[in-house]
Amino acid sequence: MAKITWSGHSCFQLNISSSKDNSAQIVIDPFNENGGLKVPKLEADVLVITHDHPDHNSTKNIKGEYFLINGPGEYDIKGISIRGISAFHDNVQGKEKGRVTIFTFEGEDMRFCHLSDFGQSELTNEQLEEIGEVDILMIPVGGGGFTLDGNGASKIISQIEPKIVLPMHYHLPGLKMKLDGVDKFLKAMGKNSVTPQDKLQVKQSTLPKEGMEIVLLTQ
């Protein structure tokens, strides 16, 4: 069973098993103290940095002898297949904010996808092909001129058609960055409310059989 926890902003920890006796702790996009949120102190086997901004690339509080991945490519670590896919932080071919890397992770017969600070109005056919079929999608929803807002995220979700959506990169108490709250995303998705939970534990057999589920994680 895979376990996903969220430290706020775009920082997740994925615990994915490749076999009965082998699992990987994957940390994605740790942030520093400048943003106003409590800095996560996590341990990793694999540390993934989607782009070189201080609210996504703070490695100093991550413990462990981790393997660092910070760009496009294909990797196989502890039986987990990881793919980095090039994308843009804005909708003008990176001219304003540069590039980011989308990551997919395959393990336990599931595919997880972290969209980074994706800023394109839509995924290209090439990007969709590389991403493939997604079970659990981590997607920014807070807008603010930095990345996708609620309406933009809903369009990308309709392109990917994941089974479970984990919104990220939205306003939280203490955050200095001006972002929309998650409520605007939920409204765009036709959801009145979603009960937050502290972690997501999921396996292939427990994925939604029909439709899509939105899961809000607490820090």
* SS3 assignment for 71-132: CCEEEEECCEEEEEEEEECCCCCCCCCCEEEEEEEEECCEEEEECCCCCCCCCCHHHHHHHC
Q: Is the pLDDT of residue 87 over 90?
A: yes
**Would residue 62 count as lying in a domain?**
yes
* Distance (Å) of CA 79 to CA 41, 82, 179, 196: 25, 10, 37, 31
Tokens of 28: 């994605």
**Would residue 202 count as lying in a domain?**
yes
pTM (two decimals): 0.96
CATH code, 75:
3.60.15.10
Mean pLDDT of 113-131: 97
Place of tokens 């793919």: 83
Instruction: Output the furthest CA–CA distance in the chain (Å, rounded).
Output: 46
- List the Cα angle 150/167/183 in 5-degree steps: 50
**Would residue 166 count as lying in a domain?**
yes
Mean pLDDT of 74-94: 91
Gap between the Cα atoms of 66 and 176, Å rounded: 30
Q: What is the domain count for the chain?
A: 1
pLDDT tens digits for range 36-55: 888 888 999 999 999 888 78
Q: Is the pLDDT of residue 69 over 70?
A: yes
**Would residue 219 count as lying in a domain?**
no
pLDDT tens digits for range 129-162: 999 999 999 999 999 999 999 999 999 999 999 9
| Domain that residue 9 falls in | 2-214
Tokens of 135: 């079970």
**Would residue 170 count as lying in a domain?**
yes
pLDDT category, 33, cuts 50, 70, 90? confident
**Would residue 101 count as lying in a domain?**
yes
**Would residue 61 count as lying in a domain?**
yes
